[in-house]
Homo-oligomer: A and B are copies of this chain.
Amino acid sequence: MVTTTKARILEEAAKLFTEKGYEATSVQDVAQALGLSKAALYHHFRSKEEILLAISLQALEGLVRAGEEALAHPDPKEALLRFMEAHARYFEENYPFFVTMLQGIKSLSPENRALTNRLRDRHEANLRAILRRGVEAGVFRPVDVALTGRAVLSLLNWMIRWFRPGGPMRAVEVARAYHDLILRGLEDGSTRAQGA
């Protein structure tokens, strides 16, 4: 892959935004880290927000694609597992882009945020489709699909607060443990059976 200047700017910016925060990072910081002049950088992006938007859209487009590969599986439980694994794997493999996207959304203008929201909503709609299919097939309990989808994404997205790539656990292992918890629940099945 040829790494263009544009791609290098996005990578360096995502790294700095993740480390120092979006507000605390200037266009000058990004240019300096790459050995570029500010003018050279402005040739590619007109503003810091334009860089943030490009990073966020790239992260979300990749995330949506990764999630969509899980949709095809006919078994809703397996589709849910694959969706959660794909989300977690994508997060770990694209850590600075993913963190910048999730943390940066609040810094985007309403117009730009609408562009990212459309992708975020598509990802969430894909997850809800899996859940709805499971409920309709009687594989899942008749849960509130919107709230359950939100729960799944809460588990996965909160990982930006505690999970660091290169630690003792892979993100995909966390996703598997969460899938098991969400699927089977905490309650002991034998106790429940006795109670029923």
Contact = CB atoms under 8 A, between A and B. Distances in A.
Q: A interface, by DSSP: helix, strand, loop or mixed?
A: helix
A189 to B, nearest CB: 7
Number of this chain's copies in the assembly equals 2
Contact of A187 (B139, B151, B178, B196): B139
Given A23-B23, A24-B23, A191-B138, A186 B143 contact: yes
Contacts of A23: 21, 23-24
Interface in A16-33: 21, 23-24
Interface of A: 21, 23-24, 77, 80, 106, 131, 134, 138-141, 143-144, 147-148, 150-151, 153-155, 157-159, 161-162, 174, 177-178, 181-189, 191-193, 196
